Chain A
Amino acid sequence: MTKPLEVEGLGYQLPGTGKRETGNGRFLVRDVSFTVGAGETLVLLGRSGSGKTTTLKLINRLLEPTSGEVRVAGERAADLAVTRLRRRIGYVIQEVGLFPHFTVERNVGLVPQLEGWPPARIAARVRELLAMVGLDADTFVSRYPHELSGGQRQRVGVARALAADPLLLLLDEPFGALDPITRVELQLEFAALEGRLGKGMVFVTHDVREGLLLGSHIGLMLQGRLVFLGTPDEFRHSDHPECRAFMAAA
Protein backbone atom coordinates (compact mmCIF):
# COMPACT_ATOMS: atom_id res chain seq x y z
CA MET A 1 0.00 0.00 0.00
CA THR A 2 1.51 3.32 -1.03
CA LYS A 3 2.31 5.71 1.74
CA PRO A 4 0.76 9.16 1.82
CA LEU A 5 4.18 10.80 1.74
CA GLU A 6 7.69 9.77 0.77
CA VAL A 7 10.51 12.29 0.77
CA GLU A 8 13.96 11.43 -0.58
CA GLY A 9 17.07 13.59 -0.56
CA LEU A 10 14.99 16.72 -0.56
CA GLY A 11 16.98 19.94 -0.88
CA TYR A 12 16.39 23.66 -1.42
CA GLN A 13 19.24 25.88 -2.41
CA LEU A 14 18.82 29.65 -2.67
CA PRO A 15 19.73 31.16 -6.02
CA GLY A 16 22.84 33.19 -6.44
CA THR A 17 26.43 32.20 -6.77
CA GLY A 18 27.87 35.66 -6.98
CA LYS A 19 29.01 37.60 -3.98
CA ARG A 20 26.35 40.24 -4.30
CA GLU A 21 23.36 37.89 -4.54
CA THR A 22 21.23 37.52 -1.45
CA GLY A 23 21.27 33.96 -0.27
CA ASN A 24 24.69 33.23 -1.67
CA GLY A 25 23.71 29.77 -2.78
CA ARG A 26 22.90 28.78 0.78
CA PHE A 27 21.06 25.50 1.45
CA LEU A 28 17.93 26.03 3.50
CA VAL A 29 17.12 22.34 3.35
CA ARG A 30 19.70 19.70 2.62
CA ASP A 31 19.35 15.99 1.94
CA VAL A 32 16.18 15.39 3.93
CA SER A 33 14.49 11.99 3.69
CA PHE A 34 11.53 10.51 5.55
CA THR A 35 8.25 8.70 4.98
CA VAL A 36 4.87 9.19 6.57
CA GLY A 37 2.39 6.32 6.64
CA ALA A 38 -1.36 6.45 6.98
CA GLY A 39 -2.35 7.33 10.54
CA GLU A 40 1.18 8.59 11.30
CA THR A 41 2.11 12.10 12.33
CA LEU A 42 5.67 13.27 11.72
CA VAL A 43 6.50 16.25 13.88
CA LEU A 44 9.20 18.42 12.33
CA LEU A 45 10.90 19.99 15.28
CA GLY A 46 13.68 22.53 15.30
CA ARG A 47 14.68 26.02 16.27
CA SER A 48 13.92 29.08 14.14
CA GLY A 49 15.69 28.96 10.82
CA SER A 50 16.29 25.22 10.98
CA GLY A 51 14.43 24.67 7.71
CA LYS A 52 11.31 22.94 8.98
CA THR A 53 8.78 25.38 7.42
CA THR A 54 10.79 25.36 4.21
CA THR A 55 10.63 21.57 4.13
CA LEU A 56 6.86 21.72 4.54
CA LYS A 57 6.53 24.13 1.63
CA LEU A 58 8.65 21.91 -0.56
CA ILE A 59 6.09 19.17 -0.15
CA ASN A 60 3.15 21.09 -1.59
CA ARG A 61 5.46 23.00 -3.95
CA LEU A 62 4.88 26.46 -2.52
CA LEU A 63 8.63 26.32 -2.96
CA GLU A 64 10.13 24.21 -5.73
CA PRO A 65 12.76 21.72 -4.58
CA THR A 66 16.17 22.16 -6.15
CA SER A 67 17.05 18.53 -5.50
CA GLY A 68 15.45 15.33 -4.33
CA GLU A 69 12.02 13.85 -4.83
CA VAL A 70 8.62 14.05 -3.16
CA ARG A 71 6.02 11.34 -3.69
CA VAL A 72 2.44 11.72 -2.56
CA ALA A 73 0.43 8.48 -2.60
CA GLY A 74 3.10 7.02 -4.81
CA GLU A 75 2.95 9.72 -7.46
CA ARG A 76 5.84 12.09 -7.97
CA ALA A 77 4.82 15.55 -6.85
CA ALA A 78 6.90 17.12 -9.61
CA ASP A 79 4.85 15.26 -12.25
CA LEU A 80 1.50 16.51 -11.03
CA ALA A 81 -0.01 19.87 -11.92
CA VAL A 82 0.61 22.07 -8.92
CA THR A 83 -3.03 22.87 -8.19
CA ARG A 84 -4.01 19.20 -8.47
CA LEU A 85 -1.27 18.28 -6.06
CA ARG A 86 -2.29 20.91 -3.55
CA ARG A 87 -5.92 19.97 -3.57
CA ARG A 88 -4.97 16.51 -2.43
CA ILE A 89 -3.08 17.95 0.51
CA GLY A 90 -4.64 19.72 3.48
CA TYR A 91 -2.73 22.88 4.50
CA VAL A 92 -3.03 24.64 7.85
CA ILE A 93 -0.96 27.71 8.71
CA GLN A 94 -0.39 29.64 11.91
CA GLU A 95 -2.25 32.78 10.80
CA VAL A 96 -5.09 30.57 9.55
CA GLY A 97 -5.77 32.75 6.50
CA LEU A 98 -9.53 32.41 6.39
CA PHE A 99 -11.13 34.49 3.65
CA PRO A 100 -12.68 37.46 5.47
CA HIS A 101 -15.45 37.89 2.93
CA PHE A 102 -16.57 34.24 3.09
CA THR A 103 -18.80 32.75 5.75
CA VAL A 104 -17.46 29.83 7.75
CA GLU A 105 -19.42 27.54 5.47
CA ARG A 106 -17.90 28.96 2.30
CA ASN A 107 -14.44 28.94 3.84
CA VAL A 108 -14.63 25.31 4.87
CA GLY A 109 -16.23 24.28 1.60
CA LEU A 110 -13.57 25.99 -0.52
CA VAL A 111 -11.76 22.97 -1.99
CA PRO A 112 -14.95 20.99 -2.59
CA GLN A 113 -16.32 24.02 -4.39
CA LEU A 114 -13.15 24.29 -6.49
CA GLU A 115 -13.51 20.58 -7.26
CA GLY A 116 -17.10 21.06 -8.34
CA TRP A 117 -18.95 19.13 -5.71
CA PRO A 118 -22.76 19.56 -5.73
CA PRO A 119 -23.90 22.14 -3.16
CA ALA A 120 -25.88 19.66 -1.08
CA ARG A 121 -22.87 17.42 -0.68
CA ILE A 122 -20.72 20.42 0.31
CA ALA A 123 -23.25 21.58 2.90
CA ALA A 124 -23.44 18.15 4.47
CA ARG A 125 -19.66 17.77 4.52
CA VAL A 126 -19.27 21.20 6.16
CA ARG A 127 -21.64 20.29 8.98
CA GLU A 128 -19.82 17.03 9.47
CA LEU A 129 -16.45 18.75 9.67
CA LEU A 130 -17.56 21.48 12.03
CA ALA A 131 -18.85 18.83 14.39
CA MET A 132 -15.51 17.04 14.09
CA VAL A 133 -13.59 20.14 15.20
CA GLY A 134 -15.98 20.84 18.03
CA LEU A 135 -18.05 23.70 16.60
CA ASP A 136 -21.84 23.75 16.59
CA ALA A 137 -22.79 23.80 12.92
CA ASP A 138 -26.04 25.74 13.32
CA THR A 139 -24.31 28.52 15.23
CA PHE A 140 -21.24 28.84 13.06
CA VAL A 141 -22.05 28.17 9.41
CA SER A 142 -23.11 31.72 8.64
CA ARG A 143 -20.61 33.52 10.83
CA TYR A 144 -17.75 35.53 9.39
CA PRO A 145 -14.13 35.10 10.47
CA HIS A 146 -13.99 38.46 12.21
CA GLU A 147 -16.79 37.26 14.48
CA LEU A 148 -14.74 34.31 15.70
CA SER A 149 -12.14 33.98 18.44
CA GLY A 150 -8.60 32.87 17.60
CA GLY A 151 -9.28 29.32 18.70
CA GLN A 152 -12.49 29.11 16.74
CA ARG A 153 -10.76 30.38 13.63
CA GLN A 154 -8.09 27.73 13.75
CA ARG A 155 -10.73 25.02 14.26
CA VAL A 156 -12.33 26.28 11.07
CA GLY A 157 -8.89 26.26 9.47
CA VAL A 158 -8.43 22.61 10.30
CA ALA A 159 -11.95 21.79 9.11
CA ARG A 160 -11.16 23.56 5.85
CA ALA A 161 -8.00 21.53 5.38
CA LEU A 162 -9.90 18.29 5.88
CA ALA A 163 -12.83 19.18 3.62
CA ALA A 164 -11.88 17.21 0.52
CA ASP A 165 -10.68 14.29 2.61
CA PRO A 166 -7.01 14.50 1.63
CA LEU A 167 -4.70 11.69 2.58
CA LEU A 168 -1.96 14.07 3.65
CA LEU A 169 -2.17 17.03 5.99
CA LEU A 170 0.53 19.69 6.39
CA LEU A 171 0.39 21.92 9.45
CA ASP A 172 2.78 24.83 10.06
CA GLU A 173 2.76 25.75 13.75
CA PRO A 174 -1.05 25.83 13.70
CA PHE A 175 -1.49 26.65 17.40
CA GLY A 176 1.42 29.06 17.71
CA ALA A 177 -0.66 32.24 17.67
CA LEU A 178 -3.13 31.15 20.32
CA ASP A 179 -3.16 31.96 23.99
CA PRO A 180 -1.71 29.17 26.21
CA ILE A 181 -5.03 27.89 27.49
CA THR A 182 -6.66 27.68 24.08
CA ARG A 183 -3.49 26.15 22.72
CA VAL A 184 -3.56 23.27 25.16
CA GLU A 185 -7.28 22.79 24.52
CA LEU A 186 -6.74 22.49 20.78
CA GLN A 187 -3.69 20.27 21.18
CA LEU A 188 -5.67 17.78 23.20
CA GLU A 189 -8.59 17.79 20.80
CA PHE A 190 -6.24 17.44 17.89
CA ALA A 191 -4.49 14.50 19.51
CA ALA A 192 -7.88 12.78 19.81
CA LEU A 193 -8.76 13.62 16.19
CA GLU A 194 -5.51 12.28 14.77
CA GLY A 195 -6.30 8.74 15.71
CA ARG A 196 -9.75 8.80 14.14
CA LEU A 197 -8.71 10.36 10.84
CA GLY A 198 -6.10 7.86 9.76
CA LYS A 199 -4.29 10.38 7.60
CA GLY A 200 -0.61 11.07 7.14
CA MET A 201 0.40 14.34 8.75
CA VAL A 202 3.49 16.53 8.86
CA PHE A 203 3.31 18.89 11.81
CA VAL A 204 5.87 21.67 12.14
CA THR A 205 6.51 23.15 15.57
CA HIS A 206 9.28 24.51 17.75
CA ASP A 207 7.41 23.50 20.92
CA VAL A 208 8.90 20.18 22.02
CA ARG A 209 6.07 19.33 24.42
CA GLU A 210 3.51 19.81 21.64
CA GLY A 211 5.66 17.66 19.40
CA LEU A 212 5.99 14.83 21.90
CA LEU A 213 2.25 14.92 22.54
CA LEU A 214 1.07 14.90 18.94
CA GLY A 215 3.75 13.06 16.99
CA SER A 216 4.01 9.39 16.22
CA HIS A 217 7.50 10.24 14.95
CA ILE A 218 9.82 13.15 15.56
CA GLY A 219 12.12 14.65 12.93
CA LEU A 220 14.59 17.12 14.41
CA MET A 221 16.07 19.62 12.02
CA LEU A 222 19.18 21.68 12.45
CA GLN A 223 20.60 24.01 9.83
CA GLY A 224 18.57 22.42 7.07
CA ARG A 225 19.46 18.81 7.82
CA LEU A 226 17.50 16.12 9.57
CA VAL A 227 19.69 15.21 12.52
CA PHE A 228 17.23 12.87 14.24
CA LEU A 229 14.36 10.74 13.01
CA GLY A 230 12.59 8.39 15.37
CA THR A 231 9.81 7.82 17.89
CA PRO A 232 9.11 10.22 20.75
CA ASP A 233 10.60 7.75 23.21
CA GLU A 234 13.76 7.44 21.17
CA PHE A 235 13.87 11.23 21.07
CA ARG A 236 13.62 11.48 24.84
CA HIS A 237 16.52 9.15 25.31
CA SER A 238 18.66 10.27 22.41
CA ASP A 239 22.28 11.31 22.96
CA HIS A 240 22.29 13.84 20.14
CA PRO A 241 23.20 17.27 21.59
CA GLU A 242 20.33 19.01 19.80
CA CYS A 243 17.84 16.48 21.20
CA ARG A 244 19.27 16.99 24.65
CA ALA A 245 19.00 20.75 24.23
CA PHE A 246 15.33 20.48 23.34
CA MET A 247 14.60 18.02 26.13
CA ALA A 248 16.28 20.34 28.59
CA ALA A 249 14.07 23.17 27.51
CA ALA A 250 10.90 21.05 27.74
Chain B
Amino acid sequence: MQGFHGSGMSVWGFYARNAQEVLGLVGQHLYLVAISTGAAIVIGVPLGILLTRRPAWRGPVLGVANVFQTVPSLALFGFLIPLPFIGGIGATTAIVALVLYALLPIVRNTYEGVAGVDPAVREAGRGMGMTDWQLLTQVELPLGFGVILAGVRVATVVSVGTATIAAAIGAGGLGVYIFRGVAVVDDTLILAGALPAALMALAADGLLGVAERRFAWRGK
Protein backbone atom coordinates (compact mmCIF):
# COMPACT_ATOMS: atom_id res chain seq x y z
CA MET B 1 0.00 0.00 0.00
CA GLN B 2 1.40 3.33 -1.04
CA GLY B 3 1.96 5.53 1.99
CA PHE B 4 1.27 2.75 4.45
CA HIS B 5 3.88 2.73 7.14
CA GLY B 6 3.87 -0.31 9.23
CA SER B 7 5.57 -3.23 10.68
CA GLY B 8 4.51 -5.17 7.58
CA MET B 9 2.37 -7.44 9.71
CA SER B 10 -1.30 -7.38 8.92
CA VAL B 11 -3.73 -6.26 11.56
CA TRP B 12 -5.05 -9.81 11.90
CA GLY B 13 -1.57 -11.12 12.48
CA PHE B 14 -1.15 -8.46 15.12
CA TYR B 15 -4.34 -9.54 16.87
CA ALA B 16 -3.28 -13.18 16.75
CA ARG B 17 0.07 -12.42 18.33
CA ASN B 18 -1.26 -10.07 20.99
CA ALA B 19 -4.65 -11.58 21.70
CA GLN B 20 -4.49 -11.15 25.45
CA GLU B 21 -3.40 -7.52 25.31
CA VAL B 22 -6.04 -6.72 22.71
CA LEU B 23 -8.77 -8.26 24.82
CA GLY B 24 -7.49 -6.38 27.82
CA LEU B 25 -7.65 -3.05 26.02
CA VAL B 26 -11.10 -3.81 24.59
CA GLY B 27 -12.22 -4.63 28.09
CA GLN B 28 -10.79 -1.38 29.42
CA HIS B 29 -12.51 0.55 26.67
CA LEU B 30 -15.86 -1.09 27.38
CA TYR B 31 -15.37 -0.37 31.05
CA LEU B 32 -14.81 3.32 30.41
CA VAL B 33 -17.85 3.56 28.14
CA ALA B 34 -20.14 1.47 30.32
CA ILE B 35 -19.38 3.22 33.60
CA SER B 36 -19.56 6.69 32.15
CA THR B 37 -22.75 6.11 30.16
CA GLY B 38 -24.32 4.43 33.17
CA ALA B 39 -23.46 7.37 35.39
CA ALA B 40 -24.69 9.82 32.77
CA ILE B 41 -28.04 8.00 32.67
CA VAL B 42 -28.34 7.97 36.45
CA ILE B 43 -27.64 11.71 36.56
CA GLY B 44 -29.13 12.79 33.26
CA VAL B 45 -32.53 11.09 33.21
CA PRO B 46 -33.70 12.46 36.57
CA LEU B 47 -32.29 15.81 35.56
CA GLY B 48 -34.23 15.74 32.31
CA ILE B 49 -37.40 14.82 34.19
CA LEU B 50 -36.77 17.65 36.62
CA LEU B 51 -36.55 20.09 33.75
CA THR B 52 -40.09 19.17 32.69
CA ARG B 53 -41.29 20.07 36.19
CA ARG B 54 -39.24 23.27 36.47
CA PRO B 55 -39.29 24.94 33.06
CA ALA B 56 -37.28 27.90 34.33
CA TRP B 57 -34.24 25.67 34.84
CA ARG B 58 -34.28 24.41 31.29
CA GLY B 59 -32.21 27.18 29.76
CA PRO B 60 -29.39 27.19 32.33
CA VAL B 61 -29.11 23.40 32.66
CA LEU B 62 -29.13 22.69 28.94
CA GLY B 63 -26.78 25.61 28.46
CA VAL B 64 -24.23 24.19 30.86
CA ALA B 65 -24.47 20.72 29.35
CA ASN B 66 -24.04 22.29 25.94
CA VAL B 67 -20.83 24.01 27.07
CA PHE B 68 -19.31 20.71 28.13
CA GLN B 69 -20.17 19.20 24.78
CA THR B 70 -18.56 22.04 22.87
CA VAL B 71 -15.25 21.92 24.68
CA PRO B 72 -12.87 19.73 22.66
CA SER B 73 -12.41 16.42 24.44
CA LEU B 74 -8.65 16.66 24.91
CA ALA B 75 -9.09 20.13 26.35
CA LEU B 76 -11.70 18.86 28.79
CA PHE B 77 -9.33 16.12 29.93
CA GLY B 78 -6.66 18.76 30.36
CA PHE B 79 -8.94 21.00 32.46
CA LEU B 80 -9.88 18.14 34.73
CA ILE B 81 -6.39 16.83 35.43
CA PRO B 82 -5.37 19.41 38.05
CA LEU B 83 -8.59 19.03 40.06
CA PRO B 84 -8.47 17.13 43.35
CA PHE B 85 -10.45 13.89 43.77
CA ILE B 86 -11.93 13.69 40.30
CA GLY B 87 -8.76 14.71 38.47
CA GLY B 88 -5.29 13.35 38.02
CA ILE B 89 -4.02 10.87 35.49
CA GLY B 90 -6.02 7.79 34.81
CA ALA B 91 -9.45 6.31 34.34
CA THR B 92 -11.25 8.46 36.94
CA THR B 93 -10.63 11.70 35.10
CA ALA B 94 -11.52 10.08 31.80
CA ILE B 95 -14.80 8.80 33.21
CA VAL B 96 -15.70 12.21 34.62
CA ALA B 97 -15.04 13.80 31.24
CA LEU B 98 -17.02 11.12 29.41
CA VAL B 99 -19.96 11.61 31.78
CA LEU B 100 -19.96 15.33 31.11
CA TYR B 101 -19.91 14.63 27.39
CA ALA B 102 -22.80 12.21 27.58
CA LEU B 103 -25.00 14.50 29.65
CA LEU B 104 -26.37 16.78 26.96
CA PRO B 105 -27.90 14.16 24.68
CA ILE B 106 -29.35 12.26 27.62
CA VAL B 107 -30.76 15.24 29.49
CA ARG B 108 -32.14 16.87 26.38
CA ASN B 109 -33.74 13.71 25.03
CA THR B 110 -35.24 12.84 28.39
CA TYR B 111 -36.76 16.29 28.50
CA GLU B 112 -38.07 16.02 24.95
CA GLY B 113 -39.40 12.53 25.51
CA VAL B 114 -41.31 13.40 28.63
CA ALA B 115 -42.43 16.87 27.55
CA GLY B 116 -43.45 15.54 24.17
CA VAL B 117 -46.28 13.49 25.57
CA ASP B 118 -49.65 14.61 24.18
CA PRO B 119 -50.98 17.34 26.50
CA ALA B 120 -54.46 15.79 26.31
CA VAL B 121 -53.07 12.56 27.75
CA ARG B 122 -51.45 14.48 30.55
CA GLU B 123 -54.60 16.46 31.25
CA ALA B 124 -56.76 13.33 31.27
CA GLY B 125 -54.34 11.61 33.62
CA ARG B 126 -54.22 14.50 36.05
CA GLY B 127 -57.96 15.05 35.83
CA MET B 128 -58.64 11.47 36.81
CA GLY B 129 -56.54 11.79 39.92
CA MET B 130 -53.09 10.43 39.05
CA THR B 131 -50.34 11.72 41.29
CA ASP B 132 -47.35 13.32 39.60
CA TRP B 133 -45.30 10.21 40.27
CA GLN B 134 -47.97 7.92 38.82
CA LEU B 135 -48.24 10.10 35.75
CA LEU B 136 -44.48 10.03 35.34
CA THR B 137 -43.97 6.32 35.79
CA GLN B 138 -47.10 4.99 34.12
CA VAL B 139 -47.51 7.48 31.29
CA GLU B 140 -44.70 9.93 30.58
CA LEU B 141 -41.70 7.66 30.90
CA PRO B 142 -43.17 4.71 29.00
CA LEU B 143 -44.32 6.98 26.19
CA GLY B 144 -41.07 8.92 26.07
CA PHE B 145 -38.83 5.90 26.42
CA GLY B 146 -38.01 5.67 22.72
CA VAL B 147 -36.76 9.24 22.62
CA ILE B 148 -34.76 8.78 25.81
CA LEU B 149 -33.18 5.68 24.30
CA ALA B 150 -32.23 7.72 21.24
CA GLY B 151 -30.33 10.06 23.55
CA VAL B 152 -28.58 7.14 25.20
CA ARG B 153 -27.64 5.83 21.79
CA VAL B 154 -26.02 9.11 20.76
CA ALA B 155 -24.23 9.37 24.10
CA THR B 156 -22.87 5.83 23.84
CA VAL B 157 -21.59 6.22 20.30
CA VAL B 158 -19.90 9.52 21.18
CA SER B 159 -18.38 7.93 24.29
CA VAL B 160 -16.81 5.09 22.34
CA GLY B 161 -15.05 7.63 20.15
CA THR B 162 -14.06 10.04 22.91
CA ALA B 163 -12.77 7.21 25.06
CA THR B 164 -9.98 6.64 22.54
CA ILE B 165 -8.56 10.01 23.54
CA ALA B 166 -8.55 8.96 27.17
CA ALA B 167 -5.40 7.00 26.45
CA ALA B 168 -3.51 10.28 26.33
CA ILE B 169 -4.06 10.72 30.05
CA GLY B 170 -3.29 7.15 31.02
CA ALA B 171 -6.82 5.77 31.13
CA GLY B 172 -6.10 2.84 28.84
CA GLY B 173 -8.51 1.54 26.24
CA LEU B 174 -8.09 1.10 22.49
CA GLY B 175 -6.61 4.58 22.19
CA VAL B 176 -3.38 3.10 23.55
CA TYR B 177 -2.78 1.35 20.24
CA ILE B 178 -3.68 4.45 18.31
CA PHE B 179 -1.29 6.68 20.26
CA ARG B 180 1.48 4.12 20.12
CA GLY B 181 0.99 3.82 16.40
CA VAL B 182 1.04 7.58 15.94
CA ALA B 183 4.22 7.89 18.04
CA VAL B 184 6.18 5.46 15.90
CA VAL B 185 4.34 5.98 12.63
CA ASP B 186 3.04 2.44 12.55
CA ASP B 187 -0.26 2.20 10.67
CA THR B 188 -0.82 -1.41 11.70
CA LEU B 189 -0.91 -0.32 15.32
CA ILE B 190 -3.19 2.59 14.55
CA LEU B 191 -5.63 0.33 12.74
CA ALA B 192 -5.42 -2.25 15.49
CA GLY B 193 -6.87 0.34 17.82
CA ALA B 194 -9.16 2.18 15.45
CA LEU B 195 -10.91 -0.85 13.97
CA PRO B 196 -12.36 -2.33 17.14
CA ALA B 197 -13.32 1.13 18.35
CA ALA B 198 -15.22 1.79 15.14
CA LEU B 199 -16.86 -1.63 15.31
CA MET B 200 -17.87 -1.01 18.89
CA ALA B 201 -19.47 2.28 17.95
CA LEU B 202 -21.36 0.72 15.06
CA ALA B 203 -22.55 -2.16 17.20
CA ALA B 204 -23.79 0.16 19.92
CA ASP B 205 -25.54 2.32 17.34
CA GLY B 206 -27.19 -0.71 15.74
CA LEU B 207 -28.32 -2.46 18.90
CA LEU B 208 -29.67 0.65 20.56
CA GLY B 209 -31.29 1.66 17.29
CA VAL B 210 -33.23 -1.59 17.23
CA ALA B 211 -34.32 -1.11 20.82
CA GLU B 212 -35.32 2.46 20.06
CA ARG B 213 -37.57 1.47 17.18
CA ARG B 214 -39.26 -1.11 19.35
CA PHE B 215 -40.23 1.52 21.88
CA ALA B 216 -41.17 4.33 19.53
CA TRP B 217 -44.87 5.22 19.80
CA ARG B 218 -46.77 6.04 16.71
CA GLY B 219 -49.71 8.35 16.95
CA LYS B 220 -51.24 9.69 20.07
Residues of A at the B interface (CB closer than 8 Å) are 60, 62, 82-89, 91, 93, 95-101, 110-111, 114, 145-146, 157, 160-161, 170
Contacts of A96 in B (CB 8 A): 120, 124
Q: Which residues of B contact A98 (CB under 8 A)?
A: 121, 124
Residue B129 at the A interface, CB < 8 A? Answer: yes
* Interface contact A83-B125, CB-CB below 8 Å: no
In the complex, the answer to whether A97 meets B121 with C-beta atoms within 8 Å is yes
CB-defined contacts of A88 to chain B, threshold 8 Å: 129
- Asked whether B220 is an interface residue with its Cβ less than 8 Å from the other chain, the reply is yes
Contacts of B219 in A (CB 8 A): 100, 145-146
- Measured CA separation A101–B125 after assembly (Å): 13
Q: Are B129 and A114 in contact (CB under 8 A)?
A: yes
CA gap between A247 and B209 in the complex, in Å: 58
- Can you name 5 A-B residue pairings with CB atoms under 8 Å? A96-B120, A99-B121, A101-B143, A101-B217, A157-B124
Residues of B within 8 A of A160 (CB): 128
Partner among A60, A84, A101 whose Cβ is within 8 Å of the Cβ of B127: A60
CA distance A93 to B120 in the complex (A): 8
Complex alpha-carbon distance, A86 and B125, angstroms: 10
State in angstroms the CA–CA spacing of A95 and B118 once bound together: 10
> Is there contact, CB below 8 Å, between A86 and B126?
yes
User: Which chain B residues in 115-134 approach chain A with CB under 8 Å?
Assistant: 118, 120-131, 134
Given contacts A93-B123, A97-B121, 9 further A-B contacts (CB under 8 A): A83-B130, A84-B129, A86-B128, A87-B129, A91-B127, A97-B124, A99-B125, A101-B217, A114-B129
Chain A residues lying within 8 Å of B217, measured Cβ to Cβ, are 100-101
What chain A residues lie within 8 Å of B127 (beta carbons)?
60, 62, 86, 91, 93, 170
**Complex Cα gap A82–B124 (Å):** 14
Q: Is the interface of B mostly helix, strand, loop or mixed?
A: helix
> What CA separation (Å) do A240 and B27 show in the bound complex?
82
When A and B form their complex, which 9 residue pairs have the shortest distance between CB atoms, in order from nearest?
A97-B124, A86-B129, A87-B129, A95-B120, A91-B127, A97-B120, A146-B219, A83-B129, A97-B121
- Once the chains are docked, how many angstroms separate the CA of A146 from the CA of B121? 13
The one of B123, B130, B138 in contact with A62, judged by C-beta atoms closer than 8 angstroms, is: B123
Rounded to whole angstroms, the CA-CA distance of A97 and B128 in the bound complex is 11
A200 CA / B142 CA spacing, docked (Å): 35
- Residues in B with CB closer than 8 Å to A62 are 123, 126-127
With an 8 A cutoff between CB atoms, is B17 at the interface?
Answer: no
Q: How far does the alpha carbon of A133 sit from the alpha carbon of B99 in the complex, in Å?
A: 52
| A110 contact set on B, CB distance < 8 A | 128, 130
Interface string of B123-166 (1 = CB under 8 A from A): 11111111100100011001100000000000000000000000
Question: B218 at the A/B interface (Cβ < 8 Å)?
Answer: yes
- What A residues does B143 contact at CB under 8 A? 99-101
Once the chains are docked, how many angstroms separate the CA of A174 from the CA of B127?
A: 14
